[in-house]
């Protein structure tokens, strides 16, 4: 790739753009702005829902957003694509989660629906207490379940989900494979990136919808060859975009599987990893 070419750069959030402080390090924010000033396109590509991303992250300035692991695509403020899990699948999966005793979250651009245990583990009310707008996007799924019962609906009819996340108890011997077998083929179940909150955690997604499929869609939309795309990530849900990108970069704090598919590994997010990767790729 020539340094003069315009490149499409996709950045994961948790563990890539933000680290222990839950804020983007100053040098990473400066790198994003400098790359955009040189004409490159820089987008977020996250497992979070669009409604789950704090304003201080979006405020750095990006050319677009891929959320819920590829199910939501927004470019230049315009929605380019959005997909939802079928309501009956959400209903069945919710019953499985309840039977297994895991805490879980259903998420989409419409909001987040989580068990009380999930809300407590992520300290949602403390994290978003200063922003009524951000806090209003979160819902206790027990309240939604009661509302669905009163309406005579299944929970999946009331909860528009594009992706799910689950957290097992550290005292439980449940594995991600156990959850995968219980859910069946209606959803793709992978290891999650929520190790700070639960040793065993995972994500459930629409089959065929990944960060990699979204990268290909955006590259085609923006008329950028796949060889001129860059993906930077740290966890297993980043693998599809890392495998699809022209250049794949693993964070120093990334998983072994991510480092195995990457073209190179940069430093940890809190040690200048984004800036150093941008410099190595001549993006800034």
Average pLDDT, the chain: 93
DSSP 8-state assignment for residue 12: -
Strand partners, 106: 113, 164
Q: What is the CA radius of gyration of the chain?
A: 19
Q: What are the tens digits of pLDDT across the range 112-131? A: 999 999 998 887 756 665 66
Domains and CATH numbers, the chain: 8-82+209-280 (3.40.50.1000), 87-205 (3.30.1240.10)
pLDDT for 157-207, tens place per residue? 999 999 999 999 988 899 999 999 999 999 999 988 777 788 899 999 999
Pairing outcome for strands 8-11 and 229-233: parallel
Instruction: At 96, list the tokens.
Output: 């499985």
pLDDT score at 16: 96
Q: What is the pLDDT of residue 127?
A: 63
10 Å CB burial of residue 243 (0-12, 13-18, 19+) is middle
Over the range 245-273, which residues count as b (16 or more CB within 10 Å of their CB) and which as e? bbbbbbbbbbbeebbebbeebbeebeebb
Burial of 279 (0-12, 13-18, 19+ CB in 10 A): middle
Pairing type for strands 188-191 and 201-205 reads antiparallel
Residue range 86-105: average pLDDT? 98
Residue 275 has pLDDT above 90, yes or no: yes
Q: Please give the DSSP secondary-structure letter assigned to residue 199.
A: S
Measured CA distances, 195 to 161, 189, 199, 213, 277 (Å): 22, 16, 5, 25, 25
pLDDT for residue 42? 99
Provide the β-strand partners of residue 43: 10, 64
pLDDT of residue 1: 45
DSSP lists the bridge partners of residue 64 as: 43, 75
Determine contact, residues 164/105, Cβ cutoff 8 Å. Answer: yes
Beta strands in 109-266 (DSSP E): 111-114, 138-140, 163-167, 188-191, 201-205, 229-233, 247-250, 264-265
Are the beta carbons of 161 and 115 closer than 8 angstroms? no
Better pLDDT: 223 or 52: 223
DSSP-derived 3-state class of residue 67: strand
Whether the model clears a pTM of 0.75, i.e. scores above it, the answer is yes
Distance CA 204, CA 167 (A): 12
Cβ density class 74-89: b for 16+ within 10 Å, e for less: bbeeeebbbbbbebeb
């Amino acid at each position: 790739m020539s340094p003069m070419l315009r490149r499409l750069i996709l950045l994961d959030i948790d563990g890539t753009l933000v680290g222990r402080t839950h804020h983007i390090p100053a040098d990473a924010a400066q790198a994003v702005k400098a790359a955009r000033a040189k004409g490159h396109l820089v987008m977020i590509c996250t497992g979070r829902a669009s409604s789950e991303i704090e304003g201080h992250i979006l405020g750095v300035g990006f050319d677009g957003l891929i959320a819920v692991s590829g199910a939501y695509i927004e470019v230049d403020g315009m929605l380019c694509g959005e997909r939802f899990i079928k309501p009956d699948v959400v209903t069945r999966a919710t019953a499985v989660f309840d039977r297994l005793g895991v805490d879980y979250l259903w998420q989409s651009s419409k909001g987040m629906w989580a068990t009380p245990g999930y809300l407590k583990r992520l300290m949602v009310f403390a994290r978003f207490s200063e922003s009524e707008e951000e806090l209003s996007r979160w819902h206790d799924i027990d309240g939604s379940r009661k509302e669905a019962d009163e309406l005579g609906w299944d929970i999946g009819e009331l909860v528009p989900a594009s992706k799910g996340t689950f957290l097992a108890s550290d005292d439980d011997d449940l594995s991600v494979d156990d959850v995968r077998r219980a859910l069946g083929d209606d959803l793709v179940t992978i290891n999650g990136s929520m190790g700070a909150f639960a040793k065993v955690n995972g994500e459930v997604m629409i089959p065929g919808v990944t960060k990699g499929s979204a990268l290909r869609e955006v590259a085609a939309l923006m008329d950028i060859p796949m060889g001129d795309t860059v993906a930077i990530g740290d966890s297993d849900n980043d693998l599809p975009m890392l495998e699809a990108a022209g250049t794949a970069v693993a964070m120093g704090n990334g998983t072994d599987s991510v480092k195995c598919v990457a073209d190179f590994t940069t430093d940890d997010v809190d040690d200048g990893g984004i800036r150093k990767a941008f410099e190595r790729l001549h993006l800034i």
